[in-house]
Structure 1
Amino acid sequence: MDDLYFCQEQRLVCVDKQVIKLTAKEFDILTLLITHPKRVFTYELIMELVWNEDYSYYSRKAVNNHVSNLRSKLKVTQDSPDYIKSVVGVGYKFEVP
């Protein structure tokens, strides 16, 4: 994880020494995943823990959209690894390649 810098206290994320501007939800999703590496979080659990609301008001598409934006922001170069892995039909996990 040499090229990824994450500081929860400063709400700061850098990739290859570039500061990555994240929305509050994107940062919170990344925090959830990065602080529990390799643990698979379901869409529903991400909704519950990040939105702090009943997930029935939202769709999986809301989680997918935020994760998609987060992935594209973290991929600063063609060679940048994909840190957030999809677990088909279940949710997402953070993994250092």
Structure 2
Amino acid sequence: MPAKILIVEDEPSIADNLIYVLKNESFAVEWLSLGQQAIDLAAQQQLDLIVLDVGLPDISGFEVCKQIRKFSDVPILFLTARGDEIDRVVGLEIGGDDYVVKPFSPREVTARIKVIVRRNRLEQTPADNTPEPVQPGCLFQLNNDKRQIKYQNNLLDLTFYEYGILALLIEHPERVFSREQLMQAVWNTPEDSYDRAVDTHIKTIRAKIRTVNPHDNSLVTHRGIGYSLNVKGHTIES
């Protein structure tokens, strides 16, 4: 089945260009111009990704994201005419998966959508529980000076918060951290963030790890408690 993309954008010319390119890439596309319409549709249908304009005529795209995150983990890519860093940070912290500043290339946005959809589908694919042989070398290699993490000798492309979360878990293997503890350790202003932000970043970290090894189960969710890193049978280098 083709991935279903919802575009929430009140400028028809922008929406038309995106729709044209996405359909040429075999995506199923729906277009809405109001935030409340998007919230209602996301609650009713299974979507693969939402392209969400921040400056909508009825309610802010950020508010739309917050409402959708109450009931759905659907990936959200923000579109905005503002390039301020604080806007990008807010968008990601409330549960956004990516952020594109106008003007933009519809083909670039489509390429980002492909990556997010592929990662999300991989994340939702149940991991094979068949034990994997221990890979030669270290499972994780942490370089705090360069802010780099390698998984099975593959450099992970991590965002600021993804790196902070995974680095902390690597430094304390097997220890269970609550969402609040992760936010206090990684976020500059944790009081301005949301618990859902941690879940979103854990989700993307796990997907990036599984692009290297689809069988990986090292990042463990402890329901109602938090997260830990299971490295039994492996070694870690810091």
Q: Distance in 1 between matches of 2:225 and 2:165?
A: 15
Q: Distance in 1 between matches of 2:162 and 2:150?
A: 14
Q: Distance in 1 between matches of 2:190 and 2:153?
A: 37
Q: Distance in 1 between matches of 2:221 and 2:174?
A: 11
Say which of 129, 143, 147 aligns to 1:11: 147
* Residue type at the aligned position of 1:5: Q
User: Partner of 1:85 in structure 2?
Assistant: 220
Cα RMSD of the aligned pairs, angstroms, is: 1.8
- Residue 42 (str. 1) matches residue 186 (str. 2): no
Q: Rg: which structure is higher?
A: 2
Q: Give yes or no for contact 2:176–2:228 (8 Å, CA) kept in 1.
A: yes
Query: CA-to-partner distance for each residue in 1:23-70, whole Å, 9 max, x for gaps?
Result: 011000011111011111111111111113344x33221000001001
Q: Distance in 2 between matches of 1:15 and 1:54?
A: 27
Residues matched between the structures, number: 95
Q: CA deviation at 1:82?
A: 2.1
Say which of 161, 166, 183 aligns to 1:30: 166
Structure 2: which 5+ residue stretches go unaligned? 1-136, 233-238
Q: Distance in 2 between matches of 1:39 and 1:3?
A: 17
* Residue type at the aligned position of 1:46: L
Structure 1: which 5+ residue stretches go unaligned? none
Say which of 200, 206, 211 aligns to 1:65: 200
Greater relative contact order (Cα 8 A, min sep 6): structure 1 or 2?
1
* Range 1-10 or range 15-24, more displaced: 1-10
Q: Distance in 1 between matches of 2:190 and 2:214?
A: 37
Q: CA deviation at 1:18?
A: 2.3
Compared CA separation, residues 54 and 15, structure 1 to 2 (3 A): closer
Q: What is the TM-score when the length of structure 1 is the normalising length? A: 0.83
